[in-house]
Amino acid sequence: MRRYSRVMDEERLVQPGLSTIYTGKNPLIDIIAVDGPDEDVFESFTSKNGTFWLEDKDMLPKDIPSCRILTFRYSTSHYSDPAIVLVEDLVADRDEISKRRPIIFLCHSSGGTLVRDALAYSESHEGREKRTESTRSICVSTFGLLLFDDGSLLKTGLKLLQIIPNNFQKFCDHIASEAPYSSADSRSEDISEILGYNRITEEHQDKCKFSSRASSGYKKAVQTLLQYSDEASRAIPYRWEVKGYGS
């Protein structure tokens, strides 16, 4: 298995922006991991035994070989508006053909809020100019999100659906031991049950740290990614062609 090494990965750990960590042959989907500001996306998705499951050849690349896996790292000291930077980095990374490739975001902590803002920025661009179309393409091609604990986003999730395309599929999948959807005095009904999201029972700090393919959390995450990938292969072309985006 691929073992995470701070010494080996020091350069990319401190490098802000978008990084590609795996590219399959003829990739059909982009899977993008986003963490909170100044957080270490590699550590967030690396187990105690050093397994970085997003890149480990025996884990996610093995289960979903026809994909690209990317990470986005950012710091508030580097970027005044990282949501815009995320969109611009993705636009620069995806050419005229690959801009229609479906996108799934993996969001840890407040990374979900960043992705929400990025999608809102992307969706706000309408017009036939090439640059405007390219910016809007990120939202059009995004099929879904997997959230590894982001209560603030989940709490307003239904409202957020209003700022993205009406046919946006499965806005987020809540992966958590419980959704922190509560008042100061009492906890309301679990929003994951209200919205029918998958759940993973790992503790907060370990909910996206999977040491092996046998982990129940990993199995649920991969199952959801496979389902999204299959559905996105039909939904995103429909969105582009039938709905006339970018035409």
| Structural domains for the chain | 10-241 (3.40.50.1820)
The residue among 84, 12, 94 whose CA lies nearest residue 54 is: 12
d(CA 98, CA 108): 25
How many H helices and E strands in the chain?
Answer: 10, 6
CB-based contact 143:72 (threshold 8 Å): no
**pLDDT computed for residue 226 by the predictor:** 93
What does pTM read for this prediction? 0.77
**pLDDT computed for residue 111 by the predictor:** 85
Is a pLDDT exceeding 60 seen at residue 50?
yes
User: Amino acid identity of 183?
Assistant: S
Average pLDDT, the chain: 75
Question: Higher-confidence residue: 157 or 223?
Answer: 223
**pLDDT computed for residue 29 by the predictor:** 97
Non-local CB neighbours of 4 within 8 Å, separated by 6+ positions: 42, 43, 46, 50, 51, 52
The residue among 100, 31, 103, 98 whose CA lies nearest residue 245 is: 100
Question: Higher-confidence residue: 145 or 229?
Answer: 229
Is a pLDDT exceeding 90 seen at residue 63?
yes
Report the alpha-carbon angle 204-61-86, nearest 5: 65
pLDDT tens for each residue of 108-138: 878 888 888 898 888 887 655 666 788 989 9
SS3 content of the chain, % helix, strand, coil (to 5): 40, 15, 45
pLDDT tens for each residue of 165-205: 444 444 444 333 333 333 333 333 333 433 334 444 454 44
pLDDT-wise least confident of 13-17, 26-30, 37-41: 13-17
Band of pLDDT at residue 156, cut at 50, 70 and 90: very low
Band of pLDDT at residue 30, cut at 50, 70 and 90: very high
